[in-house]
Structure 1
Amino acid sequence: MSTSVDHAHPAESESGGEPADAGAPHPLDNPVWAALSGAHARFAEVRGRAARYPAEMSPFAAVADQADPAAWHDLAGLIGPGGTALVTGSPVPPAGWDVVEGGEGVQMVGTALRAEHDPEAVRLGPGDVPDILDLIARTRPGPFRTRTVEFGSYLGIRENGRLIAMAGERLRPPGWTEISAVCTDPDHRGRGLASRLVRAVAAVIEERGDTPLLHAAGNNTNALRLYEAMGFTRRRHPQFLLVRAPKTDAQGRPDPA
């Protein structure tokens, strides 16, 4: 059931991270906007101070200022009356917007990560999408669509021709690249495949001059423990919200219903 929202509480920074209100905004505080207005501008569908990825690529959307009602108005125009989008950071949806679902995540930066290429990792591309979607269905690491591979480098490990593990790139705020879609077939867990692929994707990222980051669900204690052991450090606790824009009547006015 959706919940009508009038305000949202900003995410708190982890110890050692930058406070949300200290100086200029950090690109990781609003990473989707930072990516869509930077390295991923070629993908961006833009209206005023709002942007989103193509629907077949990602459900992510963003506003330039997460507390600015005018920017949210632009986003409503971009996704349409009653349309939905996934937003992250410290979003403050104005009155009239609904939160369909949401939760707290953990943003982690790989400043102490040992990155290294893996000889068994193979590059995945558009031709591998059916196999990727099959693995995603078995593991459910998060949203993955037919064009998600266009975000960047995706690496996988195959066994007897079957894709059994993968990881890849997603958001690219300036100076950073997110590692995402980390998953291993349930029948092949416990072999360290996910760790190997995270390090391999990180090697590609660092060769480009970026620093790896990733996001994990706040309640995924096993993943958080693994990533910390690999050298990732917790930076902050962003919100991940699937929001629905206000519905409007035929004249474009807010629908009281």
Structure 2
Amino acid sequence: MSFQNPVYAALTGPHAHLAEVRGNARRYPSAVAPFLALPDEPTEQDWADAAVLLGPGTTGALMRPSVPVPDVLKVDLEIPLVQFVAPASLPAEDPETVLLGVDDVPDMLALVALTDPGPFRSRTIELGTYLGIRRNGELIAMAGTRFALPHHTEISAVCTHPSYQGRGLATRLIRAVAAQITASGRTPFLHTGASNANAIALYNKLGFTLSNKMHVTIAQPA
């Protein structure tokens, strides 16, 4: 089930060192990512621990197939997602990509603010490897890795500056990130909004296979 519950698989596996823990509930530090995780079949106690772990006025995002949320948490929003697995033909290194580090975070945050590829915060870079493309010093596109599972790693934060969209930069970065993932012995996968027709069309064109229908459920203690 780890593939259907990727946040929990990451926070009990390769990202365990980042996990904030109460009982079976897990979360990333808020500066890293907003995600909260519970076991595949959470108990009443697991939900109660999740509410305490979040704390008053703090929201957490569950990413998994939809699950009934008990009254201990108040649901603010549900977003349907689709999950795709990459084909073996995807990886391709790209000579123009550069490795992004802590000093690049202000530029990364500025690009995310322009393009809204999903949650990216001041310490998100700690989740994995991020690659970018710069032109005349400006960061114009990037992509990286987020959830690390025992056998899969997620491609995330794929975004291109509006002035450079439509030039294939996202495809090049997805392939380059996939090359790094496969070199580590894992299989790339990713998520996108179920209504994001442009992204879904791109992933289908690249040979990705639909693996799961997911939800992001954003909730806070009741």
Pick the TM interval, shorter chain. over 0.9
Distance 1:136 1:83 in 2: 22
Whichever structure has more strand as a proportion of its residues is 2
Post-superposition shift, 1:112?
A: 4.0
2:38 aligned residue? 63
Give, as a single letter, the amino acid of the residue that structure 1 aligns with 2:195: N
Q: Give the corresponding residue for 1:80.
A: 55
User: 1:113 Cα shift?
Assistant: 4.0
Distance 1:103 1:136 in 2: 19
1:69-90 deviation digits (Å, cap 9, x = unpaired): 2111111111113431010113
User: 2:84 aligned with 1:114, yes or no?
Assistant: no
- Structure 2 counterparts to residues 204-219 of structure 1, below 5 A: 204-219=180-195
Q: Alpha carbon RMSD of aligned pairs, Å? A: 1.1
Which residue does the alignment assign to 2:129? Answer: 153
Match of 2:172 in 1: 196
| Distance across 2 between alignment mates of 1:242 and 1:104 | 11
Hey, what does 1:174 align to over in structure 2?
150
User: After the TM superposition, which residues 222-241 of structure 1 pair with which residues of structure 2 at under 5 Å, given as runs?
Assistant: 222-241=198-217
Q: Secondary structure at the match of 1:123?
A: strand
Pick the aligned partner of 1:44 from 19, 22, 27: 19
Q: Does 140-149 or 88-97 show the bigger shift?
A: 88-97
Q: CA deviation at 1:245?
A: 1.3
Percent identity between matched residues is 49
Return the TM-score normalized by structure 2. 0.96
Deviation at 1:66, TM superposition (A): 4.4
Which has the greater radius of gyration? 1
Opposite residue 162 of structure 1, the aligned amino acid is E
Partner of 1:124: 100
Residues 51 and 72 of structure 2 are in contact (CA less than 8 Å); yes or no, is this contact kept in structure 1?
Answer: no
8 Å contact from structure 2 (residues 47, 72) kept in 1: no
Which runs of 5 or more structure 2 residues have no equivalent in the other structure? none
Instruction: Give the Cα separation in 2 of the matches to 1:67 and 1:49.
Output: 8
